[in-house]
Chain A
Amino acid sequence: MKRILTGASVLALLATGAFAANTSITIGDQLEPPHLDPTAGAAGAIDNVTYANIYEGLTRFASDGSVIPGLAESWEISEDGLGYTFTLHSGVKFHDGADMTASDVVWSLNRARAEDSTNAQKGLFAGIESVEALDDTTVLVTLSAPNGSFLFNMAWGDASILNEGDDIEALKSKPNGTGAFVFGNWVQGDSITLVRNENYWGTPAILESATIKYISDPTAAFNAVMAGDVDAFPTFPAPENLPQFDADPRFTVIVGSTEGETILSTNNKMPPFDNPKVREALAHAIDRQAIIDGAMFGYGTPIGTHFAPHNPAYLDLTAQSNYDPDLARALLAEAGFADGFTTTLKLPPPSYARRGGEIIAAQLREVGIQTEVTNLEWGQWLEEVFKGKDFGLTIVSHTEPMDIGIYANPDYYFQYDSPAFQALMEALNAATDTAERTALLQQAQQMIADDYVNGYLFQLAKTGVANANIRGLWENAPTQAADLTAVYWVD
């Protein structure tokens, strides 16, 4: 027995030893990325590792969502809004030692917009007419039409700059970027380690190394934070545990905003939802605050349209679809459904959908709408709902930044087909003046709210937890990222 006890105390010592080093950090994330090429996959988990840490683009997002210079130190836009001349930082090197020059930019952008490109956000590059290197540090991008969001588009992880001629397949498991961290090691299924780039062209990272550990189960994530196995969990999967962390002086809870508009997506082509009266009734039947409280434990901001509340151009239209079950019943009667109807509600795996779905089903029952609830996993959801358009209602969070443009695609799964809206988006793409863009964006928000295209629920909150001595983690998530370049420990 004595021997066992000694063994146990040695193990205990080993465990405590791991906390001493303050030049490294271990953060937790739920999903392991499939590979590490941000230009060939939509998985947010890829950007959570690579964005700003390993790969950089011409421009980048700051933590408040604004677009700031990245590899391009400055740019000039021609009078007609078509030509963007980027001046690149000089002396930038890829992690393998190669120089980053204008030809790498040309190659990266041309690859992303090529015919056989598998870039998940190919649309970002659609308006590019040509890309040419004027000299080693100057790139001229010519657009086919003015595009006010071009600099914004170039800040996405999907627009990262790669080293010309690198073996793309090899980059998937061993990325070669220009960022402040160099890829270190990948224990598949467990963790990815990044090491500080000692030859970084800009402000170097403060941490010497960072490990991202993959824990998919919410209970296991909670245990790992409590046991000190991970120092921070920037996007913590179980909001119900946050009060417990909040009460514990060892931890800080970080609550911020994301780009995720969580909506009750409605099949606009399927009867009875092709009737605007029915969609309006749906909007008034939903009590947003009850969903935020019940499904998200109070974390989330109500929205009345498909737009992020922290954006300066946001219009608060929640009043237009306030909770009013009597009005909802009256509208249903007007539309010829005095006795209600039955429809399907198909729910993908995230807890906002599963928990929110139960609450919404109950609220709809109050006004006479019966729902057949089906739980789907992502693969089935994409097949049945997204591709097959075989659904009445579904709940999903649209996490791409500034994605109101999806309403201009009549084939998109909720099938909103409005020529007026499509014209509005064309005007928006052509506008480069900020005031004009704001006006157009607000018209667009108003239009989809007036048409009650979908049930607008809430802006997904970013809820994270970290050791109380950690500083510099992003509070908001303007894009999917875990930027560790400015993270440090205090005593």
Chain B
Amino acid sequence: MLRFTLKRLISLALSLVAASVVIFFTIEIIPGDAARLMLGINATQDAVDALRVQLGLDQGMLARYLSWVSGLLQGDFGISYTYRVPVVDMVQGRVWVSLPLALYALLLSTLIAFPVGIIAAANRGSWADWLVMGGTQFGVAVPNFWFAMIMVNLLAIKYRWFTAGGFPGWEDPMLALKSLTLPAFVLALPQASILARVMRSALLDTLSEDFMRTARAKGRTRQGALVHHALRNALIPVLTIIGLQFSFLLAGAIIIEKVFFLPGLGSMIFTAITQRDLIVVESVVMLLVFAVILVTFLVDITYALVDPRLRRRP
């Protein structure tokens, strides 16, 4: 297990180095000047030049890459060009929107998908199975921004149960959770649909295994065998999907953050790109890459815990 973990850690470190090079140099070639964007089209050229010097933009690309990476290693993400505050401070505010939102959506998605997937698998070919297959097809197919707008129109504008968007901060946790509920639900719906389908097919695959026949022969009921024997074996593909979904939810909620005007990481990257606040884009993308790689690492470790055979594989 230790060797397995070590190997994974080394590949994690190498991925991070490669990612930092790709991220920095692809983002730096975007045309546009942060200083001119900040000062506007009537500013004199010497005011723009003075600002470029202040921001350190007059230095070469390689020098800026090296100082960025050495900063990252010490936990210093740099200073935002536009906001002139440490990127870390900006990220901290945003993480407390994006992370709870991702977890909330993942929780909803799992809570919906597990029972639905199990019911469908247990009643294969019945009307319940058809309903689940049709419903999840719909869930995957519906564009989530459209669904979000429908929910806002109905629940915020018509019934006023929720606000149309925004995030009031965590001083009042109930209010904060409430403002994340609609976006989390909208994000969870397609994820739950995918997860339920994966759950169903993984269960069906295991149902035809020899050990299931043995369990039934020992006198387990159909349902009992499903829950106690098939479920654990079906978890590997489900865990893979959950890991992927979490990474996606953390960084990929940009559109939903726009619809609900939530101050999350996605909308921060979006604004930073339009403002050419490249240091923010680079640092946050790097952070997200790190989060994704870390989640993948944790999922790998979890596989090994769930399935002891994986630990011995080279």
Task: Give A contacts to B, CB under 8 Å.
Answer: 8, 11-12, 14-16, 32, 34-35, 41-43, 115-123, 169, 172-173, 187-191, 213-217, 219-220, 223-224, 226-229, 377-380, 382-384, 386-387, 396, 398, 400, 403, 406, 413
Residue of B nearest to A187 (CB): B169
Instruction: Tell whether A122 pairs with B47 under 8 Å between CB atoms, given A189-B94, A229-B165.
Output: yes
Residue contact A224 to B164, C-beta cutoff 8 Å = yes
Residue contact B271 to A32, C-beta cutoff 8 Å = yes
Query: Which chain B residues lie closer than 8 Å to A116 at the CB level?
Result: 50
Name 28 A/B residue pairs within 8 A (Cβ), A-sorted. Answer: A11-B161, A35-B84, A118-B39, A120-B38, A120-B43, A172-B84, A188-B90, A188-B94, A189-B94, A189-B271, A190-B169, A213-B261, A214-B261, A217-B261, A220-B164, A220-B260, A223-B165, A224-B261, A227-B156, A228-B160, A229-B163, A379-B32, A379-B274, A380-B31, A382-B36, A382-B41, A387-B33, A406-B42
Q: Which 6 A-B pairs have the closest CB atoms?
A: A189-B263, A379-B32, A42-B40, A34-B82, A227-B164, A223-B164
In the complex, whether B54 has a CB less than 8 A from a CB of chain A is: yes
In the complex, whether B85 has a CB less than 8 A from a CB of chain A is: yes
In the complex, whether B2 has a CB less than 8 A from a CB of chain A is: no
Contact with A along B154-190 (1 / 0, CB 8 A): 0011011111111101000001001000000000000
Not counting A16-B160, A191-B166, a sample of 10 additional A-B residue pairs whose C-beta atoms are within 8 angstroms of each other reads: A122-B43, A187-B93, A188-B90, A216-B258, A217-B261, A220-B164, A226-B164, A378-B37, A379-B33, A413-B41
Residue contact B50 to A118, C-beta cutoff 8 Å = yes
Query: Which chain A residues lie closer than 8 Å to B197 at the CB level?
Result: none
In the complex, whether B74 has a CB less than 8 A from a CB of chain A is: no
How close is A109's CB to chain B, nearest CB, in angstroms?
15
Query: Which chain B residues lie closer than 8 Å to A16 at the CB level?
Result: 160
How close is A153's CB to chain B, nearest CB, in angstroms?
12
Residue of A nearest to B80 (CB): A34
Residue contact B167 to A217, C-beta cutoff 8 Å = no
Interface residues of B in 82-131 (CB under 8 A from A): 82-85, 90, 93-94, 97
Bound state CA distance, A116 and B54, in angstroms?
9
Instruction: Tell whether A227 pairs with B157 under 8 Å between CB atoms, given A189-B263, A190-B167.
Output: yes
Residue of A nearest to B93 (CB): A188
Instruction: Tell whether A216 pairs with B156 under 8 Å between CB atoms, given A12-B161, A229-B166.
Output: no
In the complex, whether B200 has a CB less than 8 A from a CB of chain A is: no
Residue contact B167 to A34, C-beta cutoff 8 Å = no
Most buried by B among A123, A220, A382: A220
Bound state CA distance, A224 and B257, in angstroms?
14
Bound state CA distance, A383 and B159, in angstroms?
47
In the complex, whether B233 has a CB less than 8 A from a CB of chain A is: no
Instruction: Tell whether A219 pairs with B50 under 8 Å between CB atoms, given A15-B160, A34-B82, A224-B165.
Output: no
Bound state CA distance, A4 and B240, in angstroms?
32
In the complex, whether B235 has a CB less than 8 A from a CB of chain A is: no
Bound state CA distance, A460 and B56, in angstroms?
37
Bound state CA distance, A121 and B47, in angstroms?
9
Query: Which chain A residues lie closer than 8 Å to B36 at the CB level?
Result: 382, 386-387
Query: Interface size for chain B: under 10, 10 to 19, 20 to 34, or 35 or more residues?
Result: 35 or more
Task: Give B contacts to A, CB under 8 Å.
Answer: 30-33, 36-44, 46-47, 50-51, 54, 82-85, 90, 93-94, 97, 149, 152-153, 156-157, 159-167, 169, 175, 178, 258-264, 267-268, 271, 274-276
Bound state CA distance, A213 and B39, in angstroms?
23
Q: Which of A43, A117, A188, A396 contacts B38 (CB 8 A)?
A: A43
Query: Which chain B residues lie closer than 8 Å to A34 at the CB level?
Result: 38, 82-84, 275
Q: Which of A12, A117, A223 contacts B47 (CB 8 A)?
A: A117
Query: Which chain B residues lie closer than 8 Å to A115 at the CB level?
Result: 50
Residue of B nearest to A411 (CB): B45
Instruction: Tell whether A223 pairs with B157 under 8 Å between CB atoms, given A122-B47, A386-B36.
Output: yes
Q: Which of A42, A190, A228, A380 contacts B32 (CB 8 A)?
A: A380
Instruction: Tell whether A377 pairs with B157 under 8 Å between CB atoms, given A216-B261, A403-B42.
Output: no
How close is A300's CB to chain B, nearest CB, in angstroms?
21
Query: Which chain A residues lie closer than 8 Å to B156 at the CB level?
Result: 223, 227, 229
How close is B43's CB to chain A, nearest CB, in angstroms?
4
Instruction: Tell whether A120 pairs with B54 under 8 Å between CB atoms, given A8-B161, A15-B160.
Output: no
Query: Which chain A residues lie closer than 8 Å to B33 at the CB level?
Result: 379, 382-383, 387
Residue contact A120 to B157, C-beta cutoff 8 Å = no
How close is B177's CB to chain A, nearest CB, in angstroms?
10
Query: Which chain A residues lie closer than 8 Å to B258 at the CB level?
Result: 216-217, 220
Residue of A nearest to B277 (CB): A34
Residue of A nearest to B48 (CB): A118
Residue contact B274 to A377, C-beta cutoff 8 Å = yes
Q: Which of A123, A214, A413 contacts B44 (CB 8 A)?
A: A123
Bound state CA distance, A116 and B39, in angstroms?
14
Bound state CA distance, A187 and B264, in angstroms?
11
How close is A317's CB to chain B, nearest CB, in angstroms?
23
Instruction: Tell whether A224 pairs with B82 under 8 Å between CB atoms, given A11-B178, A42-B40.
Output: no
Residue contact B165 to A215, C-beta cutoff 8 Å = yes
Residue contact B153 to A223, C-beta cutoff 8 Å = yes
Residue of A nearest to B46 (CB): A122
Instruction: Tell whether A117 pairs with B164 under 8 Å between CB atoms, given A34-B275, A123-B42, A169-B84.
Output: no
Bound state CA distance, A214 and B167, in angstroms?
11
Bound state CA distance, A426 and B197, in angstroms?
75
Query: Which chain A residues lie closer than 8 Å to B50 at the CB level?
Result: 115-118
Bound state CA distance, A41 and B157, in angstroms?
37
Query: Which chain A residues lie closer than 8 Å to B37 at the CB level?
Result: 378-379, 382
How close is A395's CB to chain B, nearest CB, in angstroms?
14
Residue contact B259 to A220, C-beta cutoff 8 Å = yes
Bound state CA distance, A35 and B161, in angstroms?
34
Query: Which chain B residues lie closer than 8 Å to A15 at the CB level?
Result: 160-163
Residue contact B276 to A379, C-beta cutoff 8 Å = yes
Query: Which chain A residues lie closer than 8 Å to B51 at the CB level?
Result: 118
Residue of B nearest to A228 (CB): B160
How close is A186's CB to chain B, nearest CB, in angstroms?
10
Bound state CA distance, A403 and B46, in angstroms?
19
Bound state CA distance, A166 and B263, in angstroms?
30
Bound state CA distance, A172 and B79, in angstroms?
13
Bound state CA distance, A387 and B33, in angstroms?
10
How close is A135's CB to chain B, nearest CB, in angstroms?
32
Query: Which chain B residues lie closer than 8 Å to A121 at the CB level?
Result: 42-43
How close is A351's CB to chain B, nearest CB, in angstroms?
15
Query: Which chain A residues lie closer than 8 Å to B83 at the CB level?
Result: 34-35, 172-173, 188
Query: Which chain A residues lie closer than 8 Å to B163 at the CB level?
Result: 15, 227, 229
Residue contact B261 to A122, C-beta cutoff 8 Å = no
Bound state CA distance, A11 and B47, in angstroms?
51
Residue contact A118 to B54, C-beta cutoff 8 Å = yes
How close is A241's CB to chain B, nearest CB, in angstroms?
13
Query: Which chain B residues lie closer than 8 Å to A43 at the CB level?
Result: 38, 40
Residue of A nearest to B261 (CB): A215
